[in-house]
Structure 1
Amino acid sequence: MTDLSTGGRFGAALRKLLEDDTAFSRHQEANLRPEVVEALRKAIEESGVKYIYYMLPTVGGRTVAKVVPAEHYARMLKKGIAFHRTALTDLQTSREGELIGGGVDAHEFWGLPEPETFQVLPWDHEVGRIFCTAYDPPHLGKGGGRLIPLDVRALFRAAHAGFTERTGLELRSGLEPEMSWAGPGMEVNTKDDQSPAYQVENLERMRPVYKKLYSYSQELGFNMIQGDYEDDGQLELNWEYDRAELTAQRMTVYRQVCKQVARELGLQASFMPKPSNGKMGNGCHHNLSLWRGDENVIEDGRVELHVTETARHAIGGMLAHTPGSMLVMGSTVNSYKRFWDAGQFAPSGADWGLDTRGVAIRISANGRMEYRLPDASVNPYLSHLYLLAAIEHGLEAQLDPGDPGVPSSVISDLVVPNTLGMAIESFEADEYLMGAMPQELTDIYLKLKRDEWARYCGQISQWEFDQYWEAIP
């Protein structure tokens, strides 16, 4: 029987992981192997890179970095970069003036480079980047040398490795990131009752954009596969699915590519979930599959749309925790505006179906579970982390999602949040997820989201002014 209060095997494994105070020293030792140092030296020398961004994704889905002259690579492999701990929470200050994540007295963390992630930026071949892993400094004594749970990239990678060890399964995913482009040449004229989606003329308008996006992404190792025009100024480009941690990392990099292309073309590029009413929001569907070696265990081999028992349990877990994980899948106030605009293909329930786009989880003809709730502002490491926890719970407890379109008792009474405030309440009410995730991550994420909701609730909008200024008498 799964212990909901401690997050089952998933939560137990993460707690054990975060107790390891040798993590920093083992990473440092691996970095300083002569063959590793030499390989990085050679890669830098052959590339001609003169400057390197040493960077980490934050809890909020942004990226922080320091730039270091490339010749200091050996010193960086040993010591890494030092940041104030609150950099991992985007140096966000609350309404009360508190620096969320420990305040001004919070100690630094050390980010050790992962030399295998070195790549050259395609828009400036003198600049490269390396991802880092965040640790509490060893000199702190008790607790020093441990992985920081706010490093969501490292946390998800470790969680996925543990999941594979326990289940024999690997999570693979492909994302569908939609985003809005604005500026000269991006305007379209279309009839009120007609969508501009898929029209080649609108793709032609976006040709300068997608050509640069494809070129830069391919130089960074993406296997770009297809793209389309979906609504006014909205472009979606997709790359091949892969192990989930690689997909999440590519999403982080893709956002940087988009911002660079926008700068070069004098445009604006935004992953805002719902920029305007009556138009499509920017979603980020997660197409998930579970693999045992070379076998996709989602599909059962029949021509018709069917799924295996393993897939049904995974679906049951994801649906059971959909309300609780919505604070991650829809992480902003604006996220929930997608669900209030009728007819915009945004799901609003904890349900599943066979090749239908009105549900939370769509089973596609090519053996994947398309989780349709995340939007384009999502932190891909957090979304995959919470989906992985939900999937393992479904497998561990053999949760039944019911038949497509006919929910089981596990999910029939679930209410999916439609505001950020409701999402906060549902997040806290999910006993399993509260036990599965590191306490520090949960506490700080809640502080960030409560503060955002409070700021929003305290703002007077133009809609309110228009509604009420002259309303009485």
Structure 2
Amino acid sequence: MSDLKTGGRFGAALREILADDTAFARHQEANLRPETVAALGAKIREHGVKYIYYMLPTVGSRTVAKVVPAKHFERNLKKGIAFHRTALTDLQTSREGELIGGGVAAHEFWGLPEPETFDVLPWDPEVARIFCTAYEPPHLGEVGGRLLPLDTRALFKAAHAGFTERTGLELRSGLEPEMTWSGPGTEVISKEDQSPAYQVENLEKMRPMYKKVISYAQELGLDMIEGDYEDDGQVELNWNYDRADLTAERMTTYRQICKQVARELGLQASFMPKPYNGKMGNGCHHNLSLWRVADDGTAENVIEDGRVELHVTELARHAIAGMLLHTPGSMLVMGSTVNSYKRYWDAGQFAPSGADWGLDTRGVAIRISSNGRMEYRLPDASVNPYLSHLYLLASIEHGLEAKLDPGEPGEHSEVLSGIVVPNTLGMAIEAFEADEYLMGAIPEALTKIFIQLKRDEWARYCGLITQWEFDQYWEAIP
């Protein structure tokens, strides 16, 4: 089997990580250090916390949790929280009635808390949340104690640590999550064919919302930097870039904040990729950079080298080529819903549809809008940020390892010629399976379940009779 089919160094390293049956025991040992137990107990008492959500993100970008009285925190540090395995696959039943991810008889997994992720919820200081890592229970024979591949958060953290060890580089990212708000007071009136974007009056309508979102986000550690009004009810609020695993975690937190603010204000908050025809879709551009971190903690952005004109370095060109080469194979992650592809079909709405790159142009997949930053524009707001970063990281490492060439801006190199980006979920499923490198790089246990979930979604959509079909065909055929 070729190195390409096994996912190169990236795939080999992840397989080694997932074969480690001492992972649970090492995490448990770290949790039970006296200083760790004492520090968490002090935080709980200091803030008057009475309840804790023990949380994990799912494959489908939701979050599952159990709530436990805070006084049991030491017990949970040791034993974790048990969840049915299919919680990580969104407890989704297929059209045939099978609970995807192992069925009703699937084993439980154990989620061990990560004490450093403890945060008090600003809207109710009696409640805190803490992220967990999912493991095979130690009693499960050969696989017991291993990291669960369906825990996309833990998987990306492990993959990124390995990437840094092999390359000396750290992936940093900043996200641009757009979302649509609706409800009393959010209505917008504008002239025909005129965008309501950037108008201060529209921001003013959203003032109660953005004040709460920004305030809660700041209390939960997000360095909020700017925001704007973009289309009917659509607002984008950004926080500062950071190491990619921290950015992905903050996206999970941001979604939780937005849903809470919507409840408080009697609004609806949606990350649906394309709510309306003729209006902007909800994208989630990933602004990426690669940093070489020295032993003393200083870091250098290797995407740029000090030139004034817009440019990228040779190393960045390799990374860009890797991301573009694997754009078809990763589209199922970047656009993970049936609705995602309506965003690309609606002409004139700034959503890219090709595997190309350019300097400060919005119609390409990767835009160099300023020196030191690669803006990957394909993901939408429903994306699982851990999965998107995982697939981008694997693609980047392939580009670096093989020294791939992306060609000049606006042109395709030989390695990128003939690439077709999927424009339906069905096409994306086919391209996902056809990418030998990514299929070898990402754990089979994860890709197998992900394909099953997406095939089921596509089949449900294909089998649904819509109002559009009635309007087109009910009276049209004599």
Q: TM-score range by the shorter chain?
A: over 0.9
Alignment partner of 1:423 is 2:423: no
Deviations 1:390-423 (A, max 9, x none): 0000000001000000110111210000000000
Q: Aligned pair 1:28/2:28, yes or no? A: yes
Q: Partner of 1:105 in structure 2?
A: 105
TM-score between both structures, scaled by the size of structure 1: 0.99
Aligned counterpart, 1:176: 176
**1 CA distance for matches of 2:65 and 2:219?**
21
Question: For the residues of structure 1 that align with 2:169 and 2:161, how far apart are their CA atoms?
Answer: 10
Residues 329, 438 of structure 2: 8 Å contact kept: yes
Q: Structure 1 CA distance, aligned partners of 2:388 and 2:411?
A: 26
Relative distance call for 1:359 and 1:281 in structure 2 (3 A) is same
1:274 aligns to 2:274 (yes or no): yes
Over 3 Å counting, the alpha-carbon distance change for 1:2 and 1:295 in structure 2 is farther
Give, in whole Å, the separation in 2 of the partners of 1:407 and 1:102. Answer: 43
How far apart in 2 are the matches of 1:291 and 1:159? Answer: 16
* Correspondence for 1:433: 438
Q: Which residue of structure 2 aligns with residue 248 of structure 1?
A: 248
Cα contact 1:329–1:383 (8 A) shared by 2: yes
Instruction: Provide the residue aligned with 2:411 in structure 1.
Output: 406
Where does residue 342 of structure 1 map in the other structure? Answer: 347
1:465 aligns with one of 453, 470, 474: 470
Secondary structure at the residue paired with 2:392? helix
> Do the aligned residues in 1 keep the contact of 2:303 with 2:371 (CA within 8 Å)?
no
Aligned to 2:69: 69
Using the TM superposition, give the Cα deviation of residue 2 of structure 1 relative to its aligned residue in structure 2, in angstroms. 7.5
Which residue of structure 1 lines up, in the alignment, with residue 123 of structure 2? Answer: 123
Give per-residue Cα distances to partners, 1:337-393, cap 9 Å, x unaligned.
Answer: 001101000000000000111100001214100000000000000000000000000
2:230 paired with 1:205: no
Q: Structure 2 counterpart of 1:369, which letter?
A: M
CA contact (8 A) 2:329 2:428 kept: yes
CA contact (8 A) 1:2 1:396 kept: no
Give 1:308's aligned residue: 313
Pick one of 380, 385, 405 that aligns with 1:375: 380
Deviation at 1:332, TM superposition (A): 0.1
The equivalent residue for 2:329 is 324
Q: Is it true that 1:83 corresponds to 2:83 in the alignment?
A: yes
SS at match of 1:258: helix
Q: Flag structure 2 segments of 5+ consecutive residues without an equivalent.
A: 294-298
Q: Which residue of 2 aligns with 1:167?
A: 167
CA–CA distance in 1 between the matches of 2:371 and 2:323?
19
How far apart are 1:172 and its partner, in Å? 0.1
Aligned to 2:156: 156
| 1:287 aligned residue | 287
Match of 1:386 among 380, 391, 404: 391
Deviations 1:69-114 (A, max 9, x none): 0000100000010000000001000000000000011000000000
- Contact 2:312–2:371 at 8 Å: present in 1 too? no
Given that 2:285 and 2:380 are in contact with CA atoms closer than 8 Å, whether structure 1 keeps it comes out as: yes
TM superposition shift of 1:301: 1.2
Q: Secondary structure at the match of 1:402?
A: coil
Q: Distance in 1 between matches of 2:413 and 2:290?
A: 22
Structure 2 CA distance for aligned equivalents of residues 185 and 404 of structure 1: 44
The separation in 1 between residues aligned to 2:161 and 2:372, in whole angstroms, is 23
1:206-245 → structure 2 map (5 Å cutoff): 206-245=206-245
Q: Which runs of structure 1 show a deviation greater than 2 angstroms over 4 or more consecutive aligned residues?
A: none
Corresponding position of 1:397: 402
Q: Provide the C-alpha distance between the structure 2 equivalents of 1:98 and 1:192, rounded to a whole number of angstroms.
A: 48
Q: Is the 8 A contact 1:352 1:362 kept in 2?
A: yes
Amino acid at match of 1:135: Y
**Alpha-carbon separation, structure 2, partners of 1:183 and 1:464:** 29
Q: Distance in 1 between matches of 2:96 and 2:180?
A: 33
AA partner of residue 326 (structure 2): H
- Distance in 2 (alpha carbons) for counterparts of 1:306 and 1:91: 46
* 1:270 maps to amino acid: S
Kindly provide the CA deviation profile for residues 30-50 of structure 1, in whole angstroms up to 9, marking residues without a partner as x: 000000000000011101110
Q: Distance in 2 between matches of 1:183 and 1:420?
A: 30
SS in structure 1 of the partner of residue 415 of structure 2: coil
Instruction: Indicate if the aligned counterparts of 2:181 and 2:268 stay in contact, CA closer than 8 A.
Output: yes
**Is 1:190 aligned to 2:199, yes or no?**
no
Query: In 1, distance between residues paired with 2:346 and 2:6?
Result: 37
In structure 1, what is the equivalent of residue 48 of structure 2? 48
Number of residue pairs matched by the alignment = 473
2:416 alignment partner, SS class: coil
- TM-score (norm: length of structure 2): 0.98
CA–CA distance in structure 2, aligned partners of residues 365 and 173 of structure 1: 14
Question: Is the 1:52–1:130 contact (alpha carbons within 8 Å) kept by the matching residues of 2?
Answer: yes
The Cα of 1:300 is off from its aligned counterpart by 2.2
Measured in 2, the distance between the counterparts of 1:254 and 1:365 equals: 25
Instruction: Please state how far the C-alpha of 1:453 moved relative to its aligned partner.
Output: 0.1
> Would the aligned equivalents of 1:168 and 1:292 in 2 still touch at CA under 8 Å?
yes
Change (3 A) 1:93 1:194: same
Contact 1:273 1:338 in 2 (8 A): yes
Q: Which residue type is aligned with residue 136 of structure 2?
A: D
2:396 aligned counterpart, secondary structure: helix
**Tell me, what secondary structure is at the counterpart of 1:173?**
strand
> Aligned equivalents of 2:370 and 2:14: distance in 1?
34
Partner of 2:296: none
CA distance in 1, matches of 2:152, 2:402: 26
- Mapped partners of 2:311, 2:239: distance in 1: 25
Partner of 1:381, secondary structure, is helix
Q: Distance in 1 between matches of 2:137 and 2:157?
A: 21
The answer to whether structure 1 residue 10 and structure 2 residue 15 are counterparts is: no
What is the one-letter code of the residue matched to 1:301?
G
In the TM superposition, residue 192 of structure 1 has moved relative to its aligned partner by 1.4
